[in-house]
Each structure stands twice: as C-alpha cells, then as structure tokens.
Amino acid sequence: MNFLLETLRLIVLTICYHLEAFLKVIVPQRRKNVSGEIVLITGAGSGIGRLMALEFAPLDVSLVLWDINVDGLKETAKQVKEKGVSRVHYYQCDCSDREVVYRVADQVKREIGDVTILINNAGIVSGKRFMDTPDALVEKTFRVNALSHFWTYKAFLPAMTNKNHGHLVSVASSAGLIGVNGLADYCASKFAAMGFAESVALELIAAGKEAIKTTIVCPYFINTGMFDGCGT
C-alpha cells in the first residue's frame, strides 16, 4: 500500500511541477533587482565563480571576489572591468582557514562595507575512491566545501540580520542530493553544505527575518575543468 501511495504521490508531484514550469515559461517571474548590492563570490578565480562575476558585472553591483588563486582573481577582475564595471575588488582568501576568512571578512567590511549578497561557491574535488583518498584531503574537502560556509555566514550574516536585508547563496551540487561513485568525500561535504544552508534558512524564517533570502544551487557536471574526465 505504501508503495502505491508513494508512486501516486510521485506522479501527482511530477505533473504539478511540470505545470508550474510551463506557467513560468508563459509568465516569467520578476527578476530580483540587485542594483546597489555588495556581492561577494568565493572561488571567483575560475569556473562557476568567474561566470557568476561576469553575469553580475552589468547589474550595477559592487563585486567582491575571493579566491586562493591570485592570478585567477586578477584575470576575473580584468574580464569584469572589460565590461565597463569599476566597482570590483578582489582579495586572496583561503576559505578553508577560519582565521583567514574572519580576517579578510573584516578587511572587506572596513574597505567596502557590509556584504548584502553572499555566494558560497568555492569548492574542491579529489575524484578518488574512498580508500585511496588521504585523510588530509578528506579534511580539506570538508573545510572548503562545507565548513567555510559556517565561517562566511558568521562573518556576514549579523549585518544582514540587523537590517533584515540580504541574500545567502550556497552553490552545492547534485552530488549533495545523491551519492556518486568515486566522490564519497565530495558528496558528504555537499550533503553537509545542503543541510547547513537549509537549517539556517529555517532559522531566519523562525526569527522573522523573511527579507533575508536564501538560495541553494545544485549543478550537475559542468564543463569548467573541475570534473574533467568524469562520465555517467
């Protein structure tokens, strides 16, 4: 009986979600106005981080770019400025190191102001089988992909809470929804990022801070170099 009910529920939800998607094609939702916002993107030196910076460039925002790779940051900043944007600031930051995150966050607040859109995008992947993954690499994966979100939230959420204004974005992964062969440490870290982001979102609602929006993004394999050689 439970199997039949679950199957029926799946069919009904599938139909509803398809209808919702169809309606949004006909009547697109109004896009969020980000003009004047201070947008911080971690992992902005390459990949999705760079692509997001380029998308934000023409939207009248102040861009704050973080990455451990300075050369990558300089290239992203260069490409953004070529779009005519002048309010671009970049900082070298090892997001896996809590003290470094807090120190650079304080520098950003002094020099730029309170971040109003935080995009936790920085991530690493080992691509090794579980038993072949060194302990240090497992810990590094968790520090970058999950624990760094704790430190950036701690650094920037208080100002958002005080003003009841802001947006928290977690670039997680479809690997945070289902286990994948050869990605045990990566999947576990992304599951953690998902759980953390969802829990904080509920805390904000319970605290009456509904004006602080939250978004969790779960991409599949993306051709940015991070998953070169992977297949399905």
Q: What six digits make up the tokens of 189?
A: 């870290």
CA angle 146, 150, 153 (to 5 degrees): 130
- Catalytic option among 17, 90, 186, 220: 186
Spell out the residues 6+ positions from residue 10 whose beta carbon is closer than 8 angstroms to its own: none
Alpha carbon 29 to chain centroid distance?
22
Rounded Cα distance, 136 and 138, in Å: 5
Report which of 104, 56, 105 is spatially closest to residue 81, judged by C-alpha positions: 56
Is position 186 annotated as part of the catalytic site? yes
The upper half-sphere exposure of residue 138, i.e. CA atoms within 13 Å in the direction of its Cβ, equals: 11
Residues belonging to the active site: 186
